[in-house]
């Protein structure tokens, strides 16, 4: 019988829970559609486009000259968006690594299940390993 730990969780489940909680505490984003930093938009239309995540709205803007302050805000916004993209890439990579670990746990559970099945059918485990 698998050992249980606090909260009646298996050691594997508890380990994965600790990893996920640690990643969650360390990540820069708390939601999929937020930026890593609050930014001041150049104009209200841009703020609406950013908040709604609709790039098509920004593409429809008519170009206009920018003041030095607006250009500074725009460059800052681009920097924040690059950092946000990096944070999303990191989140995706961490998620892929967690899934990979999860798959490893399933492979181990499957192997254990096959051993139990062999035992149930009075099969010699060493004979089956030779067949593979």
Q: What is the pLDDT of residues 62-118, one digit of tens each?
A: 888 999 999 999 899 999 999 999 999 999 999 998 888 888 888 888 998 999 998
The predicted structure's pLDDT at residue 1: 45
Q: Is the pLDDT of residue 2 over 80?
A: no
- Does 123 score more than 50 pLDDT? yes
Q: Three-state secondary structure along 72-110?
A: HHHHHHHHHHHHHHHHHHHHHHHHHHHHHHHHHHHHHHH
Give the residue extent of every domain in the chain: 36-131
pLDDT of 128 over the 70 cut: no
CA atoms within 13 Å, Cβ hemisphere of 63: 1
User: What's the farthest any 2 CA atoms get from each other in the chain?
Assistant: 82
| Tokens read off for 63 | 């170009």
Q: What is the pLDDT of residue 130?
A: 57
Structure confidence by residue, pLDDT tens digits, 6-61: 555 565 778 888 888 888 888 888 887 788 998 887 778 888 888 888 888 888 88
27, 65 Cβ separation under 8 angstroms: no
Can you give the pLDDT at residue 68? 94
Residue 70: partners with Cβ closer than 8 Å, 6 or more residues away: 42
């Amino acid at each position: 019988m698998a050992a249980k730990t606090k909260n009646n969780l298996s050691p594997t489940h508890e380990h994965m829970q600790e990893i996920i909680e640690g990643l969650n505490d360390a990540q820069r984003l708390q939601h999929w559609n937020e930026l890593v930093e609050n930014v001041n938009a150049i104009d209200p239309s841009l703020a609406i486009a950013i908040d709604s995540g609709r790039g098509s709205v920004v593409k429809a803007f008519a170009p206009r000259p920018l003041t030095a302050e607006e250009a500074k805000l725009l460059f800052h916004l681009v920097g924040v968006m690059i950092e946000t993209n990096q944070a999303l890439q990191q989140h995706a990579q961490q998620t892929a690594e967690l899934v990979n670990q999860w798959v490893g746990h399933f492979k181990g559970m499957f192997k254990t299940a096959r051993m139990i099945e062999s035992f149930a059918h009075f099969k010699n485990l060493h004979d089956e390993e030779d067949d593979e």
